[in-house]
Structure 1
């Protein structure tokens, strides 16, 4: 989900030596934000509103875009502001900005409480006034508003991205949504102008079964429309298995699928540009 490496301008000197390395991506400046509101959506999901004067000029981007949040290290009351060319912050994680309110200088972010980890641990104890640094946004998912059939396949980590996609669909669209969550207590109403068919699939607390309920539900579908646009986002290995299931067993064209590996079992810092097209 990160920007691709920049392509050098054609006006650059042809005599410049080649290092064989991609140009370094320009980091967006960090923005200091404070928690202004906390909403409990379900036992494992918190919606936290981040607010701050440094959100002035923060752009409203498309569905399933991403931001980076930098969390305090142990012993800190707030994170250290990262330098533009300094090392990557240790406790930095990728999230979807659910709603951006430029006039109020606010961004809403949903957090899954999945156990140990800098972000989950912080979100479980978050309080109004606590400080984070926010970087981004990065690009998201280009919704084909002309398509009438959409299939969204995701686990709880990608639920906020799914919600932003649903919000972008027109009333002429039909969206079939498969959502894998910890338990049935995570179910809630999803909103969209489109016609929705939502199935919540309980995985349980064993993360090693990630993706199994999604795969089972897909195999039970009567059919997938040949013109359907498919967004697939979940644990990285599960995403690859489901992608191949769609292609090899269910007859879906590769061009119909956009895949995102939102997290990876037993990996602390999974890259945010895992598209699964190496499967």
Structure 2
């Protein structure tokens, strides 16, 4: 399974308002704003929700700065909720930008942010006008990723927007680690005095006045530099389109696996209309009319066309060059006539561009298809696309009757189809394991698991949760309950662990050996109300005296939910008859199952852990 070489630690998502302490120019091209104030410490928000202390432990930790829209009287930002934030998404004046933590000094209580001076943008305009004594709201960071482990050397490259992250990394560079670092800047005088640890080479690349995002300096330097022996981890950030050939070269020429590459587009070069009132700000007045917006919402083909392009490998077939239809058809194994029609449509929606004759090339927007993540997500044979497709086709029946008709379209219900398909089952197992990395540790640290001797674990990514539990509680023994085919898939993903056993079985039936607790991790959303109540009763019947049923997952909060939350709820309802329930719906299930709610705890990024006990 592809695993990042960088371990991640997840924090509660927070927002706070800080004081501007200092404003200094690091170079003629970079301004530093230092923030501080009492809200960096743990405190209670005005609305009563707890705000965890500010944390930043990774060199590229990012957070959001809430800015004042020119047409608003004050900045419009989120409010604290229970482990998450409530964003006023319908407010047209909400304005924020994402930045890197350049320096975090918890002893002094100071946070540095560096702003590049180029282009037109609200954040840079704010940085070059703000004065000490003013206040600004921030949101995050919500996680930290540590430097790569298991790499013999690290390739680091970025333009000036990545300089804050690279600068912090060099200042906190792990002793003994080896690396090559390339930094692109606009002018020679924009160089900064950065430490160069032993085993590291640092190369500055100046555009000598050329516009950012218009040169190949980074790619040329990386390609021409000596390539060191051993396992490499590549961390590269900057203008999105300039990174595309670098990503392609690392993948195709150097053969780097996905877990060895960390490439992030920090910004995208594009034309920006300038405000007539303030040349340092973009024109925020342009807006879509409602008719156009509705038309775009009703379009069904663009999403399918993008997924078809990803599935046939269209971006890889271009390989960064204009190609004829015949060349692309050969490379993708497609019918020339059908591919020609697809390319013509993609050109109409600005994903490809037709050149002379029948040659096409990807546009900047179409270059998004070169992302490995998006290609994997959109591939129609893949798990995510199959889930979306099955949910969409089953949704009409689900809305009309309360039950989807997935089997009518695909010959079997979705869960059974995935379980019967080795490729889909393996993809689901790996995807769930990767997703669980963000929450398993936080769940294992919950007080509900203290003092337990045995726990049965069921649901998605049970291996991740069982591993985290036995790591935090070495005395604990975990049993994973799953279907035999799922156990085989799990054992291919998770290494053997003497503290973890596997038990073939179903949540709908009783367990042969009771436990101190039964953890149902993200289980109920895939069950109808009747089945969910039955599973809860079976779990309660599998407890030792005094035992607890622990229900973990996402609880729908309409105050903070967005369209993606409701989209997932609709698809789950169409596929399973369940969905993402709110708190009251969960309480109703617990009552129907004869269980008493002992405690409700927020874990990680707003997830909920319910502790339940049988009614005496």
Query: How many corresponding residue pairs?
Result: 249
Q: Residues 20-169 of structure 1 correspond to what in structure 2 (within 5 A)?
A: 28-56=13-41, 57-74=53-70, 79-83=75-79, 84-88=85-89, 90-169=94-173
In structure 2, what is the equivalent of residue 4 of structure 1? none
Residues of 2 paired with 1:194 and 1:160: CA distance?
20
In structure 1, what is the equivalent of residue 44 of structure 2? none
In structure 1, what is the equivalent of residue 391 of structure 2? none
In structure 1, what is the equivalent of residue 178 of structure 2? 174
Instruction: Give the drift of 1:34.
Output: 1.7
Residues of 2 paired with 1:214 and 1:198: CA distance?
13
Kindly indicate which of the two structures has a greater share of residues assigned to strand: 1
The TM-score, its normalising length taken from structure 1, stands at 0.79
In structure 2, relative to structure 1, the CA distance for the partners of 1:63 and 1:141 (3 Å cut) is same
Residues of 2 paired with 1:73 and 1:85: CA distance?
19
In structure 2, relative to structure 1, the CA distance for the partners of 1:162 and 1:141 (3 Å cut) is farther
Instruction: Give the drift of 1:241.
Output: 1.9
Deviations 1:129-154 (A, max 9, x none): 12211110133433125534111011
Residues of 2 paired with 1:60 and 1:85: CA distance?
22
From 207, 210, 217, give the equivalent of 2:212: 207
1:160 aligned counterpart, secondary structure: helix
In structure 2, relative to structure 1, the CA distance for the partners of 1:222 and 1:192 (3 Å cut) is closer
Instruction: Give the drift of 1:182.
Output: 1.0
The TM-score, its normalising length taken from structure 2, stands at 0.38
Residues of 2 paired with 1:225 and 1:130: CA distance?
50
Instruction: Give the drift of 1:35.
Output: 1.1
Contact 1:110 1:160 in 2 (8 A): yes
Deviations 1:45-94 (A, max 9, x none): 01110112111111232221111111222276862453342324632111
Q: Gaps (5+ residues) in structure 1? A: 1-25, 269-273
2:243 aligned counterpart, secondary structure: helix
Rg comparison, structure with higher value = 2
1:209 aligned counterpart, secondary structure: coil
Q: Gaps (5+ residues) in structure 2? A: 1-10, 42-52, 80-84, 273-367, 376-616
In structure 2, relative to structure 1, the CA distance for the partners of 1:267 and 1:102 (3 Å cut) is farther
Residues of 2 paired with 1:55 and 1:115: CA distance?
31
Kindly indicate which of the two structures has a greater share of residues assigned to helix: 2
In structure 1, what is the equivalent of residue 321 of structure 2? none
Contact 2:63 2:140 in 1 (8 A): yes
Contact 2:155 2:180 in 1 (8 A): yes
Deviations 1:128-186 (A, max 9, x none): 11221111013343312553411101111111111232234323122210111111111
Contact 2:56 2:104 in 1 (8 A): yes
Deviations 1:185-210 (A, max 9, x none): 11122125443211111123423415
Deviations 1:81-108 (A, max 9, x none): 5334232463211111122222333211
1:222 aligned counterpart, secondary structure: coil
